Each structure stands twice: as structure tokens, then as C-alpha cells.
Structure 1
């Protein structure tokens, strides 16, 4: 069986990095994408390459349509196809709604929402003729229930959920599945700077009594990318330890 190919946006660290490692170990061709975290991305690429895995690396700011298109085109040029697109790249910001500037809002929507629009639209140019493909969008529990002092972030993540459901209906007849992962509180850089008392409170509010790991999300993504999920589309799966039920 030939290797499947996955593009993972924002895969130099956090959830994206965990996905890149897991998919490489599960016999995928992996395109590692980064924008600003060059050294982290190169270190990941070198580690996986030296371990014998099929990986490549490409710098692209997915909020820019030209660069997003170039990312997908690079994948096709390198591996000849794209089977799975994981739209993971995103930014966050904690700020009162009344303090959010136009630049804050536009940057949030540009990366978290427009980026998915650009990469997905380009990937579909190659998936649609094959009548095959998996698109996995990374949202957040705050896209499901809203987060105080994160209105612009929550809005972008809620929009991803709406996009996922609508696109799943549109692409279903073409045998392309579109699903969404809405992680709960996960131990990533996004928790940096948050007071340990707050993190402990979040842990206590979680029925499973722990903060999630990036591997929890990567494992979910691997399932949604696999043949085992062929009858699942338009769904929002939220690995959150019971924090939101």
C-alpha cells in the first residue's frame, strides 16, 4: 500500500508537532509547515528525517493566499498528492473585548479563519478529482461555548465549526470527509504565563482531573485521518476530559 500524504499547518510545536511525529511514525508522508518558528521546525524535520521517516518542510504564512497555495503546491510537487489536510495553525490572545483593536481582530481572523479557507480551497483542487480526502480542522472548546476575554479567538474558532459542517455537506458526495477537533485545556505554549493557581482550578473542573496533552489531540487526528473514520463527517469531536459536556 502506498504511503498517504498529510499537510499539517503550524506543525513546528504544540499540537501540530505532535501530529507530525505521530503521522510520520504511522507511515505517512508529512509536510511540516511553519511561519515564524524556523529552528523548532528544522529541528523536528531533522529528527524525523534522521529516524528514517518520510518528511519535508515548508515555510508559509497561511494567512496569505499566495503562501498558502505555495504550501499545497509544494506538497504535490514533493509527494504527488495530498490525502489529509490538518488545519492546525492558529494564534490566541487574551484581551477584553473593549480593548480589541482592528489589527488584533484582523490578525486573529487572518490566521485562524482565512488560513483554513485558503489551504482548504487549494487542497480541494487536488482532492476533488480523486473523489477522496480528509480535512481536519482544529477549533477549540471556546469555539463551542465562548471564552471570556477571548471574544475574537472564540469567534474565529466558532466560525471554523460552522465551516466544517457546511463544507462536509458540500463535499460528502465527492467522498471527502471534513471534521473538526475542538480541544479542551491542553498543555501547550498557550498556557505559558497563566498563573499556576488558574491551571490547577481548570484541572479540578475537569472530570478526568488532568490537563490534556498534545498527544491526546494527535491521536484523535490520526483516527479521523484513517479509513476507520470513513463514515464520519461534519462532526465536532472535543477531547476535553469532560470539561465541556
Structure 2
């Protein structure tokens, strides 16, 4: 599959699934504008990518997002592909440590047969919830809104939003993450219906475990517990997700819109 001469914007592009997507798209012939909050990591990774430019921007800042798309407009006057891979699982390191502690107790209880009911709701502040939603959901909305006219000028295109299997099945975890990811699925459908007359396709990916630093942060025991939920007993590699994105970005998928594909090892079967 090729996307030669396509212009693409990828968020969360400095690591994980976003970086794998940026690499896959450039390998397939696209020019990529990468967005990530971490300037040093972005600069380091994008130095070796052909036809790639990096922008150190917080996706939850709509003004900064608009400026990136203004640059794309100035450079090319159009956009063909938008990939929203930026996301956080918790608001910060302190909250991640709290979640990891509960997950550790949950895994230990499962091993020993102890009864343990994880409780997250009481420990989530307004600020925690807002921060995750601002990045995962608002950031996705801001880029779609900024991209729509450039996609129309291209005569059509493809938007791929990263959701999560956590937004489609019930898992004990802080509610801000599955809430934001489930909302992305709903927004994907609404935007797909609105933009279909312009031949702009909008789809979502809802992966389960992917071999990224964010997924592995909670430790191997928790990873293994999550793998127990899926028939394929391994995590996905980031390049596998990159190639799924390439499929959705290319003409090979031009009759797909409003869909949520779940590369989840069978954790979700529909």
C-alpha cells in the first residue's frame, strides 16, 4: 500500500503508536507533520525521517493546533491524512503511581484468591478527569476541526482516531480513560456522517495492549493479567498498528467510514 505525495498530520508522533505511524506513512511516500508535547523526543526521532517536520505542541491547546494547520496550509494548501494518536492514560506521574498501586493489589489478590474490589472513583479529582479528557478527546476534536477545510481542498481524505478497547468493554480502571476513548468512538461516527459528502473518511482504532512505554509502565504482572482477557496471548507491536493506519489512510480502505477496528487480540469480538 502506498500514499505517495500525500500530506499527513500525526499527533503523539514522538513515541509509541504515533511514531510508528509517522514512520510507516513516510515509508509509504507521505510527507508528515508530527505533533507532540515533547520537543526533545520529537526532534530526535524526526531527524532521521524523510519528508517529516515536528511541532512541539500540546494537542489540548486549540490555538497552537490551529497554527500547525495554518503552516500545513501555507506549505501545501491541502491535507490528505490526519492521525490522532496523542493520548494519556493518567493525568501525571503521581496519579499513575496511585493506579499502579491498585493494579498491583488486584493482581496479587487474583494470584492468592483474595477478594479485592478496586475502587478508583473517590480518588479522581475534577482536575484529573479534565486533564485526560482535554488531551484524549478535546485534542482529537481540535485537530479534526482544524483539518476539515484542508481535507476538503484535497478532494477527500482520511481521518484515523485512536480510541481503545477500554472504551468498548468494561475494565476496572479510572473512568477518565475509557470515558474519553468511548467518546472518540462516538465522535468518529458523527464526523464520518458529516464529512462523507466530501469523500472524507473517518475511522477509529481501538487496540488492546500495544508494546509501548505507556502500556508497560504498570509492570509485567499487570500486562499478563490483561493478556489473560484475550485469545491471542501477546501484545501488539507498534508497527502492526502503523500498518493498520496505513490501510485506513490508503485507497485500499476507501469504502470504510464510521468504523471502529479493534486490533485487540480478540479481547473484543463483534
Specify the TM-score bucket, using the shorter chain as the normaliser: over 0.9
Counterpart of 1:164 in structure 2 is 188
Structure 1 consecutive aligned stretches of length 4 or more whose deviation exceeds 4 Å: none
> Residue 142 of structure 2 aligns with which residue?
118
Which residue of structure 1 aligns with residue 89 of structure 2?
Answer: 92
Using the TM superposition, give the Cα deviation of residue 228 of structure 1 relative to its aligned residue in structure 2, in angstroms: 0.9
Alignment partner of 1:15 is 2:12: no
Match of 1:40 in 2: 41
Shift in CA distance, 2/201, structure 1 to aligned 2, threshold 3 Å? closer
What TM-score results when the alignment is normalised by the length of structure 2?
0.85
Separation in structure 2 between the aligned mates of residue 228 and residue 143 of structure 1, nearest angstrom: 27
**C-alpha deviation, 1:2, in angstroms:** 6.0
Offset at residue 7 of structure 1 (A): 0.3
Q: 2 CA distance for matches of 1:25 and 1:144?
A: 32
1:82-103 per-residue CA deviation (whole Å, 9 max, x = no partner) reads 1000011111125512111111
Aligned residues: 240
Structure exhibiting the larger radius of gyration computed from Cα positions: 2
The answer (yes or no) to whether the contact 1:29–1:79 under 8 Å persists in 2 is no
Taking structure 1 as the reference length, the TM-score comes to: 0.93
Greater displacement, 222-231 / 182-191: 182-191
Over 3 Å counting, the alpha-carbon distance change for 1:182 and 1:2 in structure 2 is closer
User: Shift of residue 69 of structure 1?
Assistant: 0.6
For structure 1, which segment, 193-202 or 178-187, has the greater mean C-alpha deviation from structure 2 after superposition? 193-202
2:78 matches 1:81: yes
Q: Which has the larger displacement, 112-121 or 144-153?
A: 144-153
- The farther-off stretch of 99-108 and 75-84 is 75-84
Equivalent of 2:246, from 218, 222, 245?
A: 222
Q: Which 5+ residue runs of structure 1 have no aligned equivalent? A: none
- Of the three residues 44, 53, 57, the one matched with 1:56 is 53
What is the match of residue 259 of structure 2?
Answer: 235
Gaps of 5+ in 2: 91-95, 100-119
Map of 2:232 onto structure 1: 208
| Contact 1:16–1:88 (CA under 8 A) maintained in structure 2 | yes
CA separation in 2, counterparts of 1:90 and 1:105?
Answer: 13
Coordinate RMSD, CA, aligned: 1.6
1:102-154 deviations in Å (ceiling 9; x for gaps): 11111111111111111111100222244311111000001111331221110
